[in-house]
Amino acid sequence: MPSSPPSRRARRVSYNQGLNKEPSLKEFYPSRPVNARKGDFGRVVVCGGSDRYAGCLAFNSLAALRAGADLAIVVAPRRAADIVAGYSPDLITVPCDSPYPEPNVAIESLENADSLVIGCGVTRTAESHQALLDIIQGCKTPMVLDAEALHSLAAKTDIIKGKKALLTPNAGEYEVLSRASWPSTLEAKRTAVENLARQYDATVVVKGVPDVISDGKRTYVDRRGSPYLTKGGYGDLLAGVAGAHLARGRNPFDAAKVAAFMVGRAGELASSKLGESTLASDVLSHLSLVIPSR
C-alpha cells in the first residue's frame, strides 16, 4: 500500500531544517580582485542619534566597516555626529542642526550610497518620527530599519512596500509592529515572524534567544550567541553588519542571516575570554576573527 504524502507541516519542517544550515562565510567573502578600489564593496549611510545617544551610531558604522564595507557615513544631530567623529577617524560624519537626522541631508548623502541603516538613538517625538519616515520614503537603496525607525514605521506600515527592507526588532519592538504579544514557543515565534514579514513585505529578524529570521517564505533560526551578551549595543552591531552586506549586493534575507551568525559567533569568542565583563565593543573587535582569512 503506498505511503501517505507528508503533511503540510511535515513538509515545512523538513524544508526549514535544510534551510537552517549555518551560512558559509567563504561564500559571503570570496577573494577580492587585485585591482579592487574604494567603493567596490559598498558605501553605508547611518542615520540616527540624538543629544543623548551617539554610541549606537559608532557601533552601526564600525560594524559595517568591520564586515567589509568600504565607507560608513553617519548623518546625525551635531552633538552625536561630533562624538562619533571623535571616536574613530575611520568614520565620516554629516552633522545636522535639528535634534534628529534631517531628511534633506540624509537623502543627499544617500545619492552615492549602497545601503541605509536608520533609527538607532533617535528621540521619540512626532517630529523625529516624521523625519525618519521622510528619509525611508525617499531612500532608493536597500535599508535596515532598527529602533525608533520601527516605531515610526508602525504608524505607516505601507511606506516600505516595494523596497528592499530589513526590519530588526527585539521582542518589544515586534509587539509594536504587530500589535500582538511575542509568543513563547519556537514554532509560534517562527509563525509570528513569517506573518510579520508578509504584513510589511520585508525581511524581519526578531533578536533574541534564538534570533528568528524570515522573509515570509523562508525562515532561519540562528542559535549563535552567549548569555553574556546582555549589554547594550549588540543589536546595533547586527544592524551595521547587515547594512554592509546589503551594500555588497546581498538580498535582505541573506544579509540578516549572515549578520546574525557573525555577531553571535563574535560574541561567543569575546565572552569565552571575558565572561561577565564582555562589552559590545569587545564583540566588535572580534568580528575580524569570524571572517575567513585569504
pLDDT at 11: 41
Distances (CA, A) of 127 to 76, 89, 290: 15, 31, 40
Q: How many domains does the chain divide into?
A: 1
DSSP H or E stretch at residue 65: helix 55-66
Residue % of the chain over a pLDDT of 70: 93
pLDDT at 3: 46
Confidence class for position 20, pLDDT limits 50, 70, 90: confident
pLDDT at 229: 94
* pLDDT tens readout for residues 229-238: 999 999 999 9
Confidence class for position 294, pLDDT limits 50, 70, 90: low
Of residues 226 and 13, more confidence is placed in 226
Closest C-alpha among 75, 124, 125, 78 to residue 101: 75
Closest C-alpha among 217, 266, 215 to residue 238: 266
How many angstroms separate the CA atoms of 46 and 262, rounded? 20
| pLDDT, average across residues 41-55 | 97
DSSP class of residue 63 equals H
Give domain status of residue 134, yes or no: yes
pLDDT at 16: 52
How many angstroms separate the CA atoms of 181 and 51, rounded? 32
Q: Report helix, strand or coil for 267.
A: helix
* pLDDT tens readout for residues 105-129: 999 999 999 999 999 999 999 999 9
HSE-CB for 113 with a 13 A CA cutoff: 28
Give domain status of residue 32, yes or no: no
How many angstroms separate the CA atoms of 58 and 224, rounded? 23
User: What letter represents residue 62's amino acid?
Assistant: L
Q: What is the CATH number of the domain that holds 96?
A: 3.40.1190.20
Give domain status of residue 262, yes or no: yes
Residue 285 above 90 pLDDT?
Answer: yes
Give domain status of residue 13, yes or no: no
Of residues 18 and 242, more confidence is placed in 242
Closest C-alpha among 247, 291, 232, 283 to residue 117: 247
| pLDDT, average across residues 201-212 | 97
The dihedral sign for the CA sequence 94, 95, 97, 98 = positive
Distances (CA, A) of 13 to 69, 120, 161, 210: 35, 35, 28, 17
Residues of the domain holding 56: 39-290
Give domain status of residue 113, yes or no: yes
Kindly write down the DSSP assignment for every residue of 109-125, as one continuous string: HGGG-SEEEE-TT----
* pLDDT tens readout for residues 141-189: 999 999 999 999 999 999 999 999 999 999 999 999 999 999 999 999 9
Q: Which phi-psi region, left, alpha or beta, contains residue 4 (left: φ > 0; alpha: ψ -120 to 50)?
A: beta
| pLDDT, average across residues 264-272 | 98
Residue 18 above 60 pLDDT?
Answer: no
> To the nearest whole number, what is the mean pLDDT of the chain?
93
DSSP H or E stretch at residue 96: strand 92-96
DSSP H or E stretch at residue 44: strand 43-47
* pLDDT tens readout for residues 55-64: 999 999 999 9
Give domain status of residue 7, yes or no: no
Give domain status of residue 66, yes or no: yes
Confidence class for position 293, pLDDT limits 50, 70, 90: confident
How many angstroms separate the CA atoms of 46 and 81, rounded? 11
DSSP H or E stretch at residue 205: strand 203-206
HSE-CB for 85 with a 13 A CA cutoff: 12
Here the cell at position 289 is 576573527
DSSP class of residue 25 equals H
pLDDT at 82: 98
Give domain status of residue 27, yes or no: no
